[in-house]
Structure 1
Amino acid sequence: MKLSVLGATGQTGQFLVKQALERGHEVTALVRNVAKLPTQHQNLKVVEANIFSAEQLSEHFQGQDAIISCLGFPFKIFSTISGYTDSMKAITAAARQCKVKHIIAMTSWYTAPESGQNANMIVRFLLLPMIRSILTNMHEMENYLKEEGTDFQWTVVRPPGLQNAPATDKEFLTHEGYFVPGPNGYPVTNSVARGDVARFMLSLLEKNDWIQQGVAMCTA
């Protein structure tokens, strides 16, 4: 398949690009700085583009089979974040223009307000308040896709805390919600390898699971 990848210079994005190339996909990596993606491959094209410009994105979405966003934005304690919604508005506008229907985007567990009530004390009272501005904008982006992306085959992938580690062969656990619960209703883990998040996102290209849905994931 021909894939456009945004956030390809990030830690998860680099795992995804590497795995996509290993699987034989043709990848166009849209980045803000080409020097930050040193990977070279005959099936990899690295281009600079403004992720908030539908006009610039449309130049590189033409003829693509799917768009995968691993974009991330730094948290701000005393101000709001809009990068997730702003970039998705540009992505969907460019995708419509280029007739690309398949969009996969990464957010996080606990994006919805109060969805972290069953998390452990450190996550609930320290981590989540610290990154609430990020989670709020992720949730806004998810709602934007639900309301304005009905003409797309989109999926939002929600992982827990990210470990900078390669993919494993562990089984995926999934749940239609904002975390993956165990038998007792509490989250089954707090983290997942970035390589496994990339592996899961790419697996969605091969099946019609989770279309127009958000899915919380982790590994067993």
Structure 2
Amino acid sequence: MRITVFGANGPTGRLLTDQALTAGHRVTAVTRQPKLFPLHHDRLEVIGADVLDPAAVDAAVAQRDAVLSTLGVPAGKEPISTYSRGAANIVAAMQRHRVRRLAVVSSSGVDPHPYSDGGILFNRVLLPYVTRVLGKTLYDDMRRMETLIRATDLDWTIVRPSGLYHLPSVTDYTVVEGHADGRFTARVDLAASLLAVLDDDRYLRTAINVITTVDNPTLFQWIRREALANS
């Protein structure tokens, strides 16, 4: 399969690109800094492009079989539009070139729910602060992205991870339609799930949550290693 990966130079994008190459696919990795992309392979094409540039997106999508987006931007109080504007360019290019299959990374934070194991600190303090204050503009734009994608006739899947963290290898992760009662997702599992949905018609035109159920960090480990590091 010929796959284009947007956001390929991020932590999840690199894992996804590597997994796709290992699985035998031809991959076009799209990044604004192609010289910094660390992977090399005879089935890999690295394109320097910005997802906000319609012409560049069009060229990256043409003659491909599927598009995967792992776009990510830091949370902040300033308005964010990368997700929705990028998705609009991707969708337009896919429709123009009759590419059907699309899977994009969103977040469980777009539809936050209390977690059974979250405790008072997480559910009543940290979760509301992250989703309503610290990450408000980010999640607002993710919702715009999701609304835009849902309105298309493409074969789309929206993939919502929870708190992202590092593990060295793919686990027996859980996929759930709608809300999942799990606070963490290993990036390697998120990447694997994006690749897996390409061959799984069960998740066409739906949003899924991906949850890692082993080797989860504690809340304080996650804050120290991931949230504060912005990794």
Query: Identity of aligned pairs, percent?
Result: 28
* Contact kept in structure 2, 1:109 and 1:160, CA below 8 Å: yes
> For residues 196 and 51 of structure 2, what CA distance do their matches in structure 1 show?
24
Structure 1 residues 144-163: aligned runs within 5 Å: 144-147=148-151, 149=152, 151-163=153-165
The TM-score with structure 1 as length reference comes to 0.88
Q: Provide the C-alpha distance between the structure 2 equivalents of 1:166 and 1:106, rounded to a whole number of angstroms.
A: 20
> Which position in structure 1 is the counterpart of 2:8?
8
For 2:171 and 2:35, locate their aligned partners in 1 and report how far apart those are by CA, in whole Å: 31
Hey, what's the Cα distance between the residues in 2 that align with 1:125 and 1:95? 36
Q: Equivalent residue for 1:124? A: 127
Residue 98 of structure 2 is matched in structure 1 by 99
Code of the aligned partner of 1:169: T
- Residue aligning to 2:222: none
Alignment deviations for residues 56-88 of structure 1 (CA, whole Å, 9 cap, x no partner): 2111212111000000011122x2211100000
Match of 1:194 in 2: 187
TM norm structure 2: 0.84
Query: Which residue of the partner structure matches residue 137 of structure 1?
Result: 141
**Distance in 2 (alpha carbons) for counterparts of 1:20 and 1:122:** 38
Asked if residue 169 in structure 1 is aligned to residue 166 in structure 2, the reply is no
Shift of 1:21: 0.5
| C-alpha distance in structure 2 between counterparts of 1:162 and 1:156, whole Å | 16
1:212 to 192, 202, 205: 205
Q: CA deviation at 1:122?
A: 4.2
CA distance in 2, matches of 1:192, 1:216: 9
Moved more, 116-125 or 130-139: 116-125
Counterpart residue type for residue 166 of structure 2: N
- C-alpha separation in 2, matches of 1:123 and 1:174: 24
Q: Which runs of 5 or more structure 2 residues have no equivalent in the other structure?
A: 214-231
Letter of the 1:158 counterpart: R
Bigger CA drift: 153-162 or 134-143?
A: 134-143
SS in structure 1 of the partner of residue 108 of structure 2: coil
Q: What is the DSSP-based 3-state SS (H/G/I as helix, E as strand, rest coil) of the residue aligned with 1:5?
A: strand
CA RMSD across the alignment: 1.5
SS at match of 1:41: coil
Q: Is the 8 Å Cα contact of residues 167 and 193 (structure 1) preserved in structure 2?
A: no
Opposite residue 174 of structure 2, the aligned amino acid is L
CA shift, 1:38, in A, is: 1.8
Q: Which residue of 2 aligns with 1:183?
A: none
1:126 alignment partner AA: Y
Name 1:184's counterpart in structure 2. none
SS of 2:201's equivalent in the other structure is coil
AA in 2 matched with 1:107: S
Counting helix residues as a fraction of each chain, which structure ranks higher?
A: 2
Question: For residues 103 and 169 of structure 2, what CA distance do their matches in structure 1 show?
Answer: 18
Which residue type is aligned with residue 198 of structure 2? L
Aligned-partner Cα distance in 2 for 1:59–1:90? 11
